[in-house]
Structure 1
Amino acid sequence: MSLPPDALEALAAFIACAGWEQRARLLMQWGERLTPLAAEERNEDTRVHGCESQVWLVGEIKEGHWHFRAASDARLIRGLIALLLARVNGLSSAQLDEIDLADWFAQLNLSRQLSPSRSNGLRAVLQRMRELADNA
């Protein structure tokens, strides 16, 4: 499966980083790219359960392709979610089912920085995306 343009951009940027400090800075910058959710979109229905941080996710399908928006109260998590969105936005429901979260973050050289709780949280976000796709 080819990567969406935003994912290619993320991959190029993170591969070019010399070390963790650069990647951490870049991660924060990616988090700032998230389209803000309106206050009414931050509710119990859109909250992702299974995350230590507060995370909200909304998704819509346009012409067979998913477009997600998300927010979090934690800066690092916002960056990780932005990278996940870069990887999944524009995919079909079937393609969404094929996403390998661990492989994506390994390609970005971020695997070692994913604590078990962050990995679980990101898996919960991806699972919620898949639930939205299944229920569409």
Structure 2
Amino acid sequence: MTDPFIIPEEESASEAIEAIRDELELFDDWMQRYRYLIDLGEKLPDFPQEWQNDHFRVMGCQSQVWLNFREKDGTIFFAGSSDAAIVKGLVALLLRIYSGRNFPEILAVDPIFITDLGLAGALSANRSNGVASMVQAIQKIAQSYL
């Protein structure tokens, strides 16, 4: 089995947000961007079946979303998944931003990037609330280490 925890591609969370912004701008409309999100979700490492339970579930999401983490030397690595294709893509997007970062960097990332990237306006209210719940869960984990 491959390691389910995400290793960041970019040096920092802000670089990841900028890279995602650039990638989203390549698409002409939100149908293409949804396809991009679905593709991101399909590329996530497999999330172990034994973690797909209420212990790892992110509450506040309409779809089932699971999140696990490991901490090593002040850095948190996240693994996640969802049972819904677009939401799984949103999980992948958030993990690209937050995984492999130290506690202060995770807490310093202002979730306004969700609005700045145009995601908040393009998602249903339930999905937007779910994204906010995922960000809160990630930041709560980081906060617990400070």
TM-score above 0.5: yes
Aligned equivalents of 1:121, 1:88: Cα separation in 2: 16
Listed as ranges, the gaps of 5+ residues in structure 1 are: none
Answer yes or no: is the 8 Å Cα contact 2:40–2:89 preserved in 1.
yes
Answer yes or no: is the 8 Å Cα contact 1:55–1:70 preserved in 2.
yes
How far residue 66 of structure 1 moved from its aligned partner, in angstroms, is: 1.5
Tell me the alpha carbon deviations over residues 47-82 of structure 1, each in whole angstroms, 9 at most, x when there is no partner. Answer: 111111101100112222221110101111011111
How far residue 20 of structure 1 moved from its aligned partner, in angstroms, is: 1.3
Letter aligned with residue 86 of structure 1 = R
Letter aligned with residue 38 of structure 1 = P
Provide the alpha-carbon RMSD of the alignment: 2.1
Listed as ranges, the gaps of 5+ residues in structure 2 are: 1-10
Is residue 124 of structure 2 the alignment partner of residue 115 of structure 1? yes
Tell me the alpha carbon deviations over residues 8-33 of structure 1, each in whole angstroms, 9 at most, x when there is no partner. Answer: 44332112111112211111101112
How far residue 100 of structure 1 moved from its aligned partner, in angstroms, is: 2.1
Cα gap change, 1:36/1:2 in structure 2, threshold over 3 Å: closer, same or farther? closer
In structure 2, what is the equivalent of residue 53 of structure 1? 63
Letter aligned with residue 95 of structure 1 = E
Aligned equivalents of 1:16, 1:128: Cα separation in 2: 30
Letter aligned with residue 64 of structure 1 = G
Aligned equivalents of 2:134, 2:120: Cα separation in 1: 17
Aligned equivalents of 1:38, 1:54: Cα separation in 2: 14
After TM superposition, the structure 1 = structure 2 runs for residues 39-50 of structure 1, keeping only pairs within 5 Å, are: 39-50=49-60
Answer yes or no: is the 8 Å Cα contact 1:59–1:129 preserved in 2.
no
TM-score normalised by length of structure 2:
0.81
Bigger mean CA deviation after superposition, 109-118 or 72-81:
109-118
How far residue 2 of structure 1 moved from its aligned partner, in angstroms, is: 4.7
Answer yes or no: is the 8 Å Cα contact 2:107–2:143 preserved in 1.
no
